[in-house]
């Protein structure tokens, strides 16, 4: 098991380097430099020239890439051009907020998604099926910002619509993200349950004369939730990175906001830092899913695999 995990982690290193490389190459051809955009209307050519020199902004991208990689491998993600703080401290401050949002949103998506999926599966192709699936799918069928704007205007005065200074501030953004993810969970629960319902042992249970509801809850659900649980680990990690839009709309000081601001201000160290971090979280989430999977189902061994 340990060997497997080590191997998986080692494999991610080239992926991360690839990600860093990709950004460096692409952003090196985009017009714009961090100093000019930061000075904005107060543009002063001599100041920009002097500071660019000091910040090594005039070096070719491959030189900067080399230095960046060297520092990063030594655990130094650099200093944000725009925010003038160390990238690791910026991420360390922003991440708990994004995580809080992602976990709440994930919980909401399960609360909405799993019951909707179960009901839909039991009443396959009935009105209830379509209604519940329709409700769950609505969240994935409109852009998150449009749901967000509607909620902001509906709940203004009842719930906070911007910022992140109390648990109440979490409710609306988590609802937006959670509803968005609920469609996926509902779909998965439904199809997984449908499949189990066709299995022989369920038929046997039915034949024994057990009531349908207890059949479903006692036997089918147990097995069908297996992939759903695996999905949850993957989902939390994808929610973490998916919060970009929601964080922007609700002005939540999370990692997604940092990333978008970093692109807009050509803040290479900050962009690299957030992307590396988010990518690592996604990869870690998938790894966690794999491990969880093998723990939940002892028939599966991630290594060996007989």
Partner 1 sequence: MKRYVSLLLAGAVALGGLSGCGSAFEDSGETTAAVTAGDASGDGSAAYESTSGDGAVSQTAPGENMLHIPAKDEFPTVDTQKDTEFYVVPLNIYDRLVECEVVDGVAEIVPSLAESWTVSDDGLVYTFQLRDDVTFHNGEPFTADDVVYTIDRMMDPDTAARNTDAYSMIKGAKARLDGQADHVEGAKALNEHTVELTLEVPFGPFLANLATPACSIYNRKATEAAGDQFGIDPQLTVGTGPFKMADWVLNDKLTMVRNDDYFKGAPKLDGIEVIQVPDENTQKLMYENGELDIVDLSSSSSQLAYFLGNDAYKDNLVTGPEAGCYFYVFNQDMEPTNDVRVRKAISMAIDRQTILDQMYSGAGHLVNSMLPDGVLGAYQAQEIPYDPEKAKALLAEAGYGDGCQLEIYQQTDNPDALAINQVVQSMLSQVGITVSIKQMDDAAYFAERKEGRLGMTRASWKADFNDPDNFLYTFFTERNAKIRSNNHKNADVYQWLEDARAMVDEDARMALYQKIDTAVVQEDAAVLPLFQMDHIVVVQDWVKDFHVAWNGWTDVSYYTVSLEK
Partner 2 sequence: MASFEQAASLAARAAVNSAKNGFSQEQRLSAVERIEEEELLFLPKPDTIGTKLLNMCRENKVAAFSGVVLAVMAAAILFADKLTVYDPNGVNLMERLLPPSGAHWCGTDELGRDIFTRILYGGRVSLLVGVIPTTISMAIGIVLGMVSGYIRQTEAVIMRLADIVLAFPSIVLAMVVMYTLGATTTNIFVALSMIGWAKTARVVRSQTLSLREQEFVEAARGMGVGKWTIMFRHILPNCLPSLIVLFTLNIPDAILSEANLSFLGVGTQPPDSSWGLMVSQARTFAQSSPWMLIFPSLAILIMVLALNFLGDGLRDALDPHGK
Selection from partner 2, partner 1, none that 40 binds (CB < 5 to 8 A by kind) is: partner 1
Q: For residue 171, count CB atoms less than 10 angstroms from its CB and return exposed for 0-12, middle for 13-18, buried for 19 or more.
A: middle
Angle at 212 between CA 113 and CA 193, to 5 degrees: 35
Tell me the β-bridge partners of 159.
Answer: 156
Q: Give the phi and the psi of residue 86 in degrees, each rounded to 5.
A: -70, 140
| Nearer to partner 1 among residue 19 and residue 37 (C-beta) | 37
Selection from partner 1, partner 2, none that 238 binds (CB < 5 to 8 A by kind) is: partner 2
Structure-block tokens of residue 26: 């692409």
Selection from partner 1, partner 2, none that 22 binds (CB < 5 to 8 A by kind) is: partner 2
Spatial distance between the Cα atoms of 102 and 173, rounded to a whole number of angstroms: 10
| Nearer to partner 1 among residue 18 and residue 35 (C-beta) | 35
**Close Cβ partners of 91 (under 8 Å, ≥ 6 residues apart):** 77, 255, 258, 273, 274, 277
Q: State whether residue 3 is helix, strand or coil.
A: helix
Least distance (Å) between residue 172 CB and partner 2: 14
Least distance (Å) between residue 252 CB and partner 2: 15
Least distance (Å) between residue 115 CB and partner 2: 17
Q: Give the phi and the psi of residue 6 in degrees, each rounded to 5.
A: -55, -45
| Nearer to partner 2 among residue 143 and residue 167 (C-beta) | 143
Say if CB 210 and CB 135 are below 8 A apart.
no
Least distance (Å) between residue 53 CB and partner 2: 25
Q: For residue 4, count CB atoms less than 10 angstroms from its CB and return exposed for 0-12, middle for 13-18, buried for 19 or more.
A: middle
Least distance (Å) between residue 269 CB and partner 1: 13
Selection from partner 2, partner 1, none that 212 binds (CB < 5 to 8 A by kind) is: none
Selection from partner 1, partner 2, none that 183 binds (CB < 5 to 8 A by kind) is: partner 2
| Nearer to partner 2 among residue 80 and residue 180 (C-beta) | 180
> C-alpha distances in angstroms, 12 versus 6, 16, 18, 283, 284?
10, 6, 10, 7, 9
Selection from partner 2, partner 1, none that 160 binds (CB < 5 to 8 A by kind) is: partner 1
Say if CB 232 and CB 110 are below 8 A apart.
yes
| Nearer to partner 2 among residue 28 and residue 53 (C-beta) | 28
Residues that bind partner 1 (CB under 8 A): 30-34, 36-45, 47-48, 50-51, 54, 82-85, 90, 93-94, 96-97, 99-100, 103, 107, 149, 152-153, 156-157, 160-169, 221-222, 225, 229, 232-233, 236, 248-249, 251, 253, 257-258, 261, 264-266, 292, 295-296
| Nearer to partner 1 among residue 131 and residue 223 (C-beta) | 223
Least distance (Å) between residue 33 CB and partner 1: 6
Structure-block tokens of residue 129: 């099926």
Least distance (Å) between residue 304 CB and partner 1: 22
Least distance (Å) between residue 150 CB and partner 2: 7
| Nearer to partner 2 among residue 91 and residue 290 (C-beta) | 290
Q: For residue 93, count CB atoms less than 10 angstroms from its CB and return exposed for 0-12, middle for 13-18, buried for 19 or more.
A: middle
Selection from partner 1, partner 2, none that 60 binds (CB < 5 to 8 A by kind) is: none
């Amino acid at each position: 098991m340990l060997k497997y995990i080590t191997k998986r982690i080692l494999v991610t290193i080239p992926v991360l380097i690839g990600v860093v490389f990709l950004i460096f190459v692409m952003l090196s051809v985009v017009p714009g430099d961090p100093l000019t955009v930061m000075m904005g209307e107060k543009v002063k050519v001599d100041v920009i020239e002097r500071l660019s020199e000091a910040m090594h902004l005039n070096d070719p991208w491959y030189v900067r890439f080399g230095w960046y990689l060297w520092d990063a491998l030594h655990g130094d993600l650099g200093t944000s051009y725009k925010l003038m703080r160390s990238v690791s401290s910026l991420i360390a401050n922003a991440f708990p907020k994004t995580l809080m949002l992602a976990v709440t949103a994930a919980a909401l998506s399960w609360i909405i998604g799993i019951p909707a999926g179960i009901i839909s599966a039991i009443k396959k192709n009935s009105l209830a099926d379509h209604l519940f699936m329709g409700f769950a799918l609505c969240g994935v069928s409109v852009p998150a910002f449009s749901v967000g704007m509607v909620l902001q205007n509906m709940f203004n005065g009842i719930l906070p619509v911007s910022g992140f200074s109390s648990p109440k501030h979490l409710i609306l953004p988590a609802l937006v993200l959670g509803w968005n993810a609920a469609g996926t969970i509902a779909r998965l629960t439904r199809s997984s349950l449908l499949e189990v319902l066709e299995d022989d042992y369920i038929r046997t249970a039915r034949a024994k004369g057990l009531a349908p509801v207890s059949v479903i809850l006692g036997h089918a659900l147990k097995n069908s939730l297996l992939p759903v649980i695996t999905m949850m680990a993957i989902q939390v990690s994808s929610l973490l990175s998916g919060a970009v839009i929601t964080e922007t709309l609700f002005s939540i000081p999370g990692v997604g906001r940092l990333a978008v601001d970093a692109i807009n201000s050509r803040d290479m160290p900050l962009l690299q830092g957030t992307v590396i971090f988010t990518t690592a979280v996604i990869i870690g989430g998938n790894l966690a899913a794999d491990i969880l999977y093998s723990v939940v189902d002892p028939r599966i061994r991630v290594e060996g695999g007989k």
